[in-house]
Each structure stands twice: as C-alpha cells, then as structure tokens.
Structure 1
Amino acid sequence: MCRNATPAELELVHKEDDVTTILVDDDKWDELASDTPQGAYSRKPIMTLCFAMFANSVALTNVFPYAGFMILHYGLTEDETRVGFYAGYLMTSFMAGRLLSSFYCGALSDRIGRKAVIRIGLWSCLVFSIGFGFSPTFAIALSMRLCMGLFNGLTGVAKAAIPEIVPKGPEQQTAMGYVAGMWNAGMVVGPAAGGVLAERPVNSLFRRYPYALPNIFAAGLALLALCVIEAWLPGKTSYAKISDEDKDEEEPAPRRACARAPRTSWLPIGVYCFLSTFSIFYEDCYPLWLLTPRDEGGMGMAVDEIGAVLSATAVFTVAYQFLIFPFISERMPSHILFPTSAGLSAVLMPVAVVIARMKPGAATTWAALIAHNIVYRCAVSNAYTACFCTINNSCATNARGAVNGFAMSVASAFKAVGPSMGASMYAYGLDKAPNGGVGVLAVFGGVGAALGVTALVACKYMGAEYDTPLD
C-alpha cells in the first residue's frame, strides 16, 4: 500500500521543484519519520549499511593473505615466486561477475528498493563464501568467486541509498565516510581473518579444506548483517519522480546503461575507476610482498604474521573512521579531499620497499610496517569516500541507483584487470630483478605514479560543483 508523502516527509528524502509525489511503503514511513526529524537523520540505517558493507568486504578480501598458499595447495605450481600468476585470478573472477550484473542491480534497486538488492548481495556472500572455502579444485573455487560477484550489487546500491537517508551538507559526506570506512575496515579485517584462520587443522575436515575457516567466518558476518538489515533498514518501493505535467505516468527509464549516466557523472566515474584499479593492484600485491623472501625485497613473513600485521591495522582504521574522519569531513569538501588523499596514497605505495630494508623482527620494523599501512589505509578510505560523494552529487535522485550500478560495472572491469595485472607484474618483476628489491620497487613505484596522475587530473578538472547534490 502506498500514499502521497507530506511536504515534511518529502524534505527527508529529496527535494526537487517538479516533484509532487513519492511512493513509499506505509509501514516504513512511520519508522523513518519518527527516527529522522527534519534537519537530522537516523543513525540506525547508516549503521546497518556500514555493517552490510563490512560483511561484504570481508567476504571479498579474506582470500588475500592465503591466495598464494591456496595455489600451492592446489598444486598449480611449486615455485613461490610464480604463485602471483595464478592468485590474481581469484579476485578477477569476482570482479568479472560484478561487471556483468552491477548496472542491472542498481537499476533494479531504483524499481524495487535498495533493501531487496542489498539482501540478495548478502545472501551471495553467505552461500558462495562457504562454497569457496570447501572447493576441492581451483576451477570450482573460481566459479564460486564468479557467482559471488554475479549476484552482488550491494556496494553500489548502499552508496546510492546514503543521500536518501541523510540530509544534504557535511553530514552526508560524514555518513558516506562511515560506510566507505567500514568497507575499508573490512578490507583490513578480511585479510587479517584470512591470515589468522587459514591453515588451522583443528580437525580432519579443516585439514582437508585448510581455507574453509576464514570463509565460514565471512559467511557468519553476512548472516548477521542479513538479520540487522531486516530489523533496521527501511524499505522503499520506488525512487522515481513524478512531474507536475504528467502525474499518472512515471518517466520512462532509458534502457542503455550509458544513457542512465549523465555527462556530469562521467568524470567522477572515470576517477573512481582508476582509483579502484590502482588501489586493488596494490592491495593484491601487498600480501604477496609480505610473503616474498627478504633477499628479493619482501618481508619474508608466514601467513599468521601477515594476519597479525593486518589485524593491528584494522583496529586503528575503524577508530579513525568514527573518531577522526568526521572532523576532517566538516572542514574538507570532496573536491579537495580526493586529490589530497589519493596523492598521499600514491606517495606511500613505494615507501613499503624501504621498510623491507630494516632489521628483520625488530620492534621498530614492526612499528614502521603497521604505521605505514595505517596511514595508507586511512588515505585510501578518504579518497573512496570523496569519490562516492561526487558520483552521488553528479546525478538526480531517481537515477542514482542506476548511475552507481553503472559506476560499479565499469569499475569492476578495471578491478578485474587490477589483481591479475598486479599479481602478474609483481611476479614478472621478481623474475626479472629478484635481488635487492629492484623489481618490487619498480612495481610499487609504477602504480604509485599512476595513482598520482589520477589525483592531479581530479585536482584540475573536478571542482566545487561536485560538492553539492544535483537535485
């Protein structure tokens, strides 16, 4: 059952000169209106989206620290320096699936509501994480990751929902920072959990499937997130606007993905694609670098030591997002926050090689490694947050799901290239320059330079007009 919203209710969702009617579930309007007085917003839906993004990120990234060991387990190669040629495909398969479905998931959320699509995405994390953990062959593992991406439109839809929950202004960037920050926290907790839980032969089942435990953990988080969204996330039946000239018919939605993305969205979507490519390139190479022997420019760590580094990073990253980032968000608009944060991330990428030259096992070495990873993670999180805000501000409310879905589809194509290219180039660099870390420096320095160019382009062409919503 649907009804016409009151003027006060319309103010809570979005405001356009030609909007007179919006369709919303009656049983959810009372909850939304009571929790969200004018000029404020409910924290419950934001925290729900945060947890859903966190669970999704953990399911995606827990494979990072043990991907190389998984390749050895399947017997694809016995040479540790060549595992990168195969490990990248595990991430690429997920991104390939998301490439095929993200636009359609976003457009579907404009029609049936954000909650339904988020629910489907979490179920894909739950079911296919378990399938991946218990995969007996590399081919089945790849198919599980592909299916997880194919049914997972959660990320783009969650970002599209933020402006419909939070009022315009700095609060919207702060809320987006919470959601993006929890995704980034998941990108730390996921690999940390993978490093700690993988290869734990607690019984005969986990000796046979040594990488099932981290995926069971990810599936459990997805199940908990499903329970939370059922309780706290409002559901809307439509986000389409109805004009004064034609109140009986909705605007026909363009069928082509490109047609749903206005020209104003092309620049932030492009910037997002390059940020995604270079950051995931580095994210995929980083655990391989921790695994690489010291005489070849790496840290020479075991899988549990990798998990310890990433776990220590996770604690501060989450604290930063909730305690420090709101202070930054209030003082730095998106068009300044992105190039500043992306530029800092670019500088930090090759610095990792310097840490590998420090004394092995020393407290100062561990402190430098963790501090470097913390600052990098926080900077990348800031860059993603600013980028997400500019994409939302570049389009109208009724197209936001489709635009974010299109952005995710295009970015997934870039992300699908990133891990395979990163792991392959890393393995190639070690093969050609194995001694002294020259190959590692060339790879990390190259990707840092590419991200730096992206930051400069954004600084020049992405101006203050992207700091305020289009409608």
Structure 2
Amino acid sequence: MEDYGDQPLLKKHYYHENCPGCKVDQAKELKQDVTFRNVFTIWIVILCSTLPIASLFPYLYFMVKDFNIAETEEDISSYAGYVGSAFMVGRALTSILWGMVADRYGRKPVVIIGIISVVIFNTLFGLCTSFRMAIIMRFLLGALNGLVGPMKAYSSEIFREEYQALGQSTVAAAWGVGLAFGPALGGYLAQPVQKYPNIFPKDSFWDKFPYFLPCFIVSAMALAVLISCIWLQETLHNHKTEALENRTNETDKNKMIQKDESLLRNWPLMSSIIVYCVFAIHDIAFIEIFSLWSVSPRRLDGLNFETNDVGSVLALAGVAIIIFQLGIYQSVQKICGPIVLARIAGVLSIPILQSFPFMTMLSGFTLNISIYSAAILKNLFIEVISTGLYILQNKAVDQHQRGVANGICITAMSACKIIGPAAGGAILTWSQKLGMHASFLPGPHLVFFGLNLVEGLALLLTFKPFLIERKTPSEQLY
C-alpha cells in the first residue's frame, strides 16, 4: 500500500486542481457545503422555472375568453387546458436532450440557457393576442426550459449524503412556492386597469395587454436570477474522460459501459419515476382545476372568486410550504423515511380533496376558513410527496448518469402533465355542463372524484414490490 504521508498530501493527490466537481467534493469533505448560498441558489433557480408554469392559471380563464375562440362559456376551460398543456409538450420533447447536455458539458450552461428562455418567451406570452400565439409561446418556453432536471441533480451533488433531504426539500419547497405564489402573482397583477385604475389608466398599453404585467414581473425576476448565475458553482467533474482513458483494466471499462447502458433497466429509478408521473398528473390537474373552478360563476357551481382571491389562498399555501419544507421536513423524514412520509401525505390528501366541491354551499367567513385550510394542506402534501420521490430518484443513479436520469424523469413527468391540464379542463367543462342535476357525482363532485382516483392509484404504487429504494453504500452496512 502506498503511503501518501500526511492528510494534505492525500487530498492533493485525490482532488484535481482545476476541476469544479473536485472543489465541490472538497467543500463537502471539509463540511463547508451546507451554506445559505447553496440553498438560496437552488431556491431561486427552481422558482425561476416554476413561476412561469403556474402564474397564468388564475387569469387563463379570462385570457382565453378574450381570445373569443370558445363557442360557449363552458368551453373556456377546455381551451385553457390546451394552453396549460403546451408547455409540457415542449418540455417532454427536449428534457432528455437537456439532461445529456448537462452530463456532457455541465449543469451551469443548461441552467443559463433555460433562464434566458424564461426571460424571452414568458415576456412574449404576456403580449399574446390570439389562441394560436399563446400555444406557440408556451410550447417554446417548455422546449427551451431545461432547468428542473439539472437542478435536481445539482441539489443532490452540492450537499453531503446526510443532507440529501435538505437539497431535495429545497427543490420541492421552491417548486411548491412557485406553484402557490405563481398563481398569487398572476391573480393580483392580471387585468391591472380593472383592479388599479388610479395607477393604470384605461386605453393604455396595460389595457391593450391586460395579462402582460404578471409575465413582465416574472421575466424581470428571471433576469435577476440569470445575472446571479454567473457565480453558480459547477458540480460536474471535468476529468472523467481523462480518468477513463488512463484506465488499463479492460474489465473496469466494460463494467462502466454496461452500467451506462442499463439506465432504463434501473428499477429503483424507473419505479420512482413512474410513481412520480402518476402523482404529477394529479398535481398539475388539481392546480389548474382549483383555479378554474374557483373563478367560475356560481351558476356553474364555482366559487365566483376574483383572480386576487385565488392569489391570496395560494400565497398563504406558499408560506406554509416554506415553513414546513425548510424547517420541519428534514427532521420528520429522518424518523419515518421519504416513502412512508409520502404515503401518509397521500392518504390525508384524499378526504381533503373531496371536500372542495362541498364548499360551494358555504359563504363568508366559513367559506374562507374552509378553502384556506384545505388549500394549504393539499399544496403542502403535494410537496411532501414530491420531495420523497426526488430523493429516491437521485439516490438511484451515480453522478455521471444523474443529468440524463433527471431528464428522463422530467420528460415522463411532462408527458403526463400534458394529460393533466387538458383532461382536467375537459372534465371540468363536462361537469359544469351536467350541472347539479346529474344523478351521480353532480357538478364539481365529478372532477374532484376523478382527481382522487388518480391520487389513489399513485398511492398504491408506492408499496412493494412496485416501488423499490436503492440503498447507498453506507446504508448497506446495516
């Protein structure tokens, strides 16, 4: 056995001087990885990706109505679903490609390109004057936005193994806050001439483009994040190819090649992706249906909320997500594990979800307490489930495959989320046309029952033998 002398000499032998991945590994060994900077970086980049996805939901009903494409008021929800799905179509087609680029050239370039796409195409979406233009802008925004997969990989690589839950809960918290504050932002800032006539005069630019202001604010935030990403740490090692070329053991080469080819046969990875995708169909459908149902008139069995009412509900849900995910989740997850915690959240979600249509019978203070409580809990449970599955996915692969693995996950999830908004909008339209006179599951009861069926299926898939967790080397010792 070689003797490398004291500890500094050993570190110098192990770490490559100009390798960004080695610098990250060295920071982890020195326990300098759990910093505000690393957590905040993950937070703002994921938030930058999520806000454009969700910010349109409160005003999408009115935007589609202004396009004058729906023949009846009940048809508006269906067309809104197509706009919501266009983003996911684009992302489903390109996520694996972005994952391959991230594994080859690094996480940072993909993140920067994704943020630039948000700045450009989210801004243009606010200027859309036709249904076709809106579809195209959302599609391009999804196709060029490869942020989520590389950042999920980044969050598992920037922290030590014992802090994996912190990295993934930060991703889920930022994602959840984006899904909550995005609609809040859209709800408060859409149609500013009607809401704030003293600031935004009639017949002005803001009157011609009533949905530009929330898009502009999100794009401005993305521009600030883009500038901050100049200092983003790269976690990928740049000496991997050199190390492979220097290997003289042909058996080791063959093992590595075989390992690279077996990604789709990695059942711990694929099972967690499949479960995540089923939950994803439910989650995106719920977010859209909740917003569309809330602003629908009472005669269609909705709550007749204004966009800022929806924004207030979801903003408070976002605050709850921040507190739980960053303050409580890691401790609770250590006790019961990510899978059990996800199951508990799934079981509790079912009665909460079915309570929403009964709220049309309420009004005033009772309605506000009920809708706020149910929405906060439901959005919190969505992020608890997502965090657990993020942890499983990134534990299932090694670093050199993590970008592609997350790309596969985002592609599959996006493909499923194409179904969510389109199917959710169509079923909501159908349930509103049937009204409260249907003999089985009248009015909105039908669409929320459908959401519960998907939730129940996903919950069943979290059990063995379907969902398998890969054990890390340290876990295999016990």
TM bucket, shorter chain: 0.7 to 0.9
Out of 461, 464, 467, the position equivalent to 2:465 is 461
Quote the residue 1:69 is aligned against: 62
Quote the residue 1:83 is aligned against: 76
Task: Quote the offset at 1:236 in angstroms.
Answer: 3.4
Out of 96, 107, 111, the position equivalent to 2:104 is 111
Identity %: 24
Q: Which amino acid aligns with 2:134?
A: A
Quote the residue 1:15 is aligned against: none
Task: Quote the offset at 1:223 in angstroms.
Answer: 1.2
**1:52 aligned onto 2:45:** yes
Quote the residue 1:230 is aligned against: 230
Matched-pair contact (CA < 8 Å) for 1:261–1:406: no
1:297–1:467 CA distance, 2 compared to 1 (3 A): farther
**Relative to structure 2, which stretch is displaced further, 107-116 or 222-231?**
222-231
**Relative to structure 2, which stretch is displaced further, 444-453 or 340-349?**
340-349
Out of 156, 171, 179, the position equivalent to 1:187 is 179
Total equivalences in the alignment:
454
Quote the residue 1:350 is aligned against: 354
Out of 446, 450, 455, the position equivalent to 2:454 is 450
Out of 95, 117, 128, the position equivalent to 1:124 is 117
Q: Which amino acid aligns with 1:330?
A: K
Out of 355, 371, 374, the position equivalent to 1:372 is 374
Quote the residue 2:218 is aligned against: 218
Matched-pair contact (CA < 8 Å) for 2:338–2:389: yes
Task: Quote the offset at 1:428 in angstroms.
Answer: 0.8
Out of 133, 153, 175, the position equivalent to 1:160 is 153
Q: Which amino acid aligns with 2:85?
A: T
Task: Quote the offset at 1:124 in angstroms.
Answer: 1.0
Q: State the distance in 1 between where 2:460 and 2:10 align.
A: 39
Matched-pair contact (CA < 8 Å) for 1:28–1:235: yes
Q: State the distance in 1 between where 2:239 and 2:402 align.
A: 9
Quote the residue 2:413 is aligned against: 411
Task: Quote the offset at 1:239 in angstroms.
Answer: 8.3
Q: State the distance in 2 between where 1:67 and 1:365 align.
A: 24
**1:440 aligned onto 2:444:** yes
TM-score, normalised with respect to structure 2: 0.86
Report Cα offsets for 1:10-67 as digits up to 9, x if no partner.
99xxxxxxxx988784478557745862485344223201111112111111010111
Task: Quote the offset at 1:148 in angstroms.
Answer: 0.6
Quote the residue 2:197 is aligned against: none
Structure 2 matches for 1:277-296, cutoff 5 A? 277-296=281-300
Quote the residue 1:197 is aligned against: 189
1:255–1:125 CA distance, 2 compared to 1 (3 A): farther
Structure 2 matches for 1:301-340, cutoff 5 A? 301-340=305-344
In structure 1, list runs of 5 or more residues that go unmatched: 1-5, 12-19
Task: Quote the offset at 1:235 in angstroms.
Answer: 5.2
Task: Quote the offset at 1:116 in angstroms.
Answer: 1.0
**1:265 aligned onto 2:269:** yes
Q: State the distance in 1 between where 2:20 and 2:356 align.
A: 52
Q: Which amino acid aligns with 2:422?
A: S
Q: Which amino acid aligns with 1:190?
A: G
Matched-pair contact (CA < 8 Å) for 1:65–1:303: yes
Matched-pair contact (CA < 8 Å) for 1:337–1:386: yes
In structure 2, list runs of 5 or more residues that go unmatched: 1-5, 194-199
Quote the residue 1:16 is aligned against: none
Q: Which amino acid aligns with 2:115?
A: L
TM-score, normalised with respect to structure 1: 0.88
**Relative to structure 2, which stretch is displaced further, 434-443 or 246-255?**
246-255
Q: State the distance in 1 between where 2:27 and 2:384 align.
A: 31
Q: State the distance in 1 between where 2:272 and 2:108 align.
A: 25
